Amino acid sequence: MKWKNLMKVAFKNILKNRMRSMLTILGIVIGVGAVITMVSVGQGASADIQSEISSMGTNMLVVMPGSTRTGGVSHGASSLNTLRMEDVKALEQEATNLMYVSPVINAPAQVIAGSKNWYTSIEGVSASYLDIRDWPLDKGSFFTKRDIRSRRKVAVIGKAVAKELFGEQEPLGAEIRIRNIPFTIIGVLSEKGQSMMGNQDDIILAPSDTVLYRMSDGKTINVIMVSASSVDQMEDAQAEIERIIRREHKIRAGADDDFIVRSQTDLISKVTSVTGMLTMLLGAIAGISLLVGGIGIMNIMLVSVTERTREIGIRMSIGARGGDILTQFLIEAVILSLLGGVTGIIIGIGLGKLIASLINSSLIIDPLILFIAFFFSGAVGVFFGLYPARKASRLNPIDALHYE
C-alpha cells in the first residue's frame, strides 16, 4: 500500500470513531499542555525575577545582619543585628574594590501631609544611595553629605507616595510630618515599579544620620548596600567586605560571621535554581500524564485490532503483507498522538497566557520546548502503538477471516 492510501485509511478510521479518538488523545493533550504551560510560565517568572534583581542596582552587594543560635538552632537571617555606622565608615575608608557605600536604616511610619496620611517605608541612606541603586531623580535634588552630617530634615519621595499624599499637586518644597517630625520634600524619585519585595515607589528616603538618631536607636543599621567598582571585581569586593567587617566585629579566625554578604549573582543563581527545580517537578508531573495518555493509546489500538480482525484478514487475503498492516496501525497511533500533541501545544500556550496575565508575569514560549513536546508526543505514539501494530501484523489470515 502507498503512503497516501495508508494515511487516508488511518484518518478514515480515526474520524469513524470521533468521540473515542478524542478521549484517547486526552491524556496526551493534558500532558503536553501542562508541559508547555509550566515551562513557559516558569521561564517567564524566572526572567522577571532576574530583571527585578538586576534593576535593584549596578554591581550591587548587600551586607545583612547574621543570625543568632539557641541550643544549636539558627533563628534565621537578621535575627542578630550587629551592623553599625562604624562598619560603613571602615568600608568607605579602606575598601579598594568598592565604588559606593550606603547604610540603610528602615523606619516605617505614618506620614502626614495636610489632611492626607499614608503608611510607608522610611529609609535613611547616604548621598550615594541612588548611584548604587541606579535610580535617577524625576525632579528636584538629592541630599548631600553636608545634609547628612547636619542631620537636616529633608526627604526624597517615591512616585507612589507623591500620588497618595499630593495627587496632581506639586510636592517639591512641601512639608510632611513623620512621627511628628517635619520634613521638607526636596526631590521625587523616578518610577521603578513593582518588584518581588513590593512596590519600589512606595518609599521615602532621608539622610541616614537623621533617621538613625531621630527615628531609630542611634546604633544599629539594617543593611549596608555597596557597589563594586566593576562586574569583574565582584568576588574581590565581597572578600574585601568580609575581611573588613570581620575585623571591625573582632571575629576570631575560624569563627562564623555575624553578617551575610549577598551579591546580585548569588540572588539570581538561587532564584534560577529554585524556579528550575519547580519547573522540573511540574514537568515530571506532566510527563506522567503523557505516560497515561500513551497507555490509553495502546489500549484503544488493541481494541481496534480486535474490532478489525476480519478486515485485517480480508486485506491479507488480497495481497497485503504483515509490514503493511503493521505500518497501517502504527500510523494511526502516531496520528492520534500527534493530534493530541498539537492540541496540547495550542491549549498550553493559551493557558500559559491566561496564567501569566492573572499573576502579572511574563510568558516565555521557547520554540525548542514546542518542538520537543511535538516530537515526544509522536514518540509516545510510536512506542505505545508498536505492540498493537505488531499483534495485528502477525494475525493468521485464515483465522482472521473466520473471526466473528
Say if residue 137 is in the same domain as residue 278: no
* Last residue within a domain, chosen from 216, 233, 257: 257
204 in any annotated domain: yes
Residues of the chain with pLDDT under 70: 1-3, 52-58, 67-80, 194-197, 267-268, 271, 275, 279, 282-283, 286, 396-404
Say if residue 151 is in the same domain as residue 218: yes
* Last residue within a domain, chosen from 223, 257, 291: 257
Say if residue 216 is in the same domain as residue 344: no
Say if residue 143 is in the same domain as residue 189: yes
User: pLDDT value at position 60?
Assistant: 86
**Residue span of the structural domain in which 370 resides:** 3-51+270-401
Say if residue 120 is in the same domain as residue 245: yes
* Last residue within a domain, chosen from 257, 287, 318: 257
- The 8 Å CB, 24+ separation contacts for 236-239 are 236/97, 237/59, 237/61, 237/95, 237/97, 237/98, 238/61, 238/263
288 in any annotated domain: yes
Q: How many CB atoms lie within 10 A of CB 79?
A: 13
Q: Quick one: which of 191, 189, 268, 263 has its CA closest to 230?
A: 263
Say if residue 105 is in the same domain as residue 246: yes
Angle at 368 between CA 362 and CA 374, to 5 degrees: 110
371 in any annotated domain: yes
70 in any annotated domain: no
User: pLDDT value at position 350?
Assistant: 92
180 in any annotated domain: yes
238 in any annotated domain: yes
User: pLDDT value at position 399?
Assistant: 64
User: pLDDT value at position 277?
Assistant: 77
User: pLDDT value at position 25?
Assistant: 81
User: pLDDT value at position 72?
Assistant: 46
220 in any annotated domain: yes
Domain count, the chain: 2
User: pLDDT value at position 73?
Assistant: 42
Say if residue 177 is in the same domain as residue 113: yes
Say if residue 330 is in the same domain as residue 248: no
Look at strands 154-157 and 98-106 and give their pairing: unpaired
Say if residue 237 is in the same domain as residue 97: yes
Say if residue 237 is in the same domain as residue 274: no
Say if residue 285 is in the same domain as residue 351: yes
The C-alpha cell 499624599 sits at 165
75 in any annotated domain: no
User: pLDDT value at position 58?
Assistant: 59
Say if residue 105 is in the same domain as residue 197: yes
Q: Any alpha helices (H) in 216-263, and if so which ranges? A: 234-248
User: pLDDT value at position 192?
Assistant: 85
- Write the burial class of residue 305 (CB in 10 Å: 0-12 exposed, 13-18 middle, 19+ buried): buried
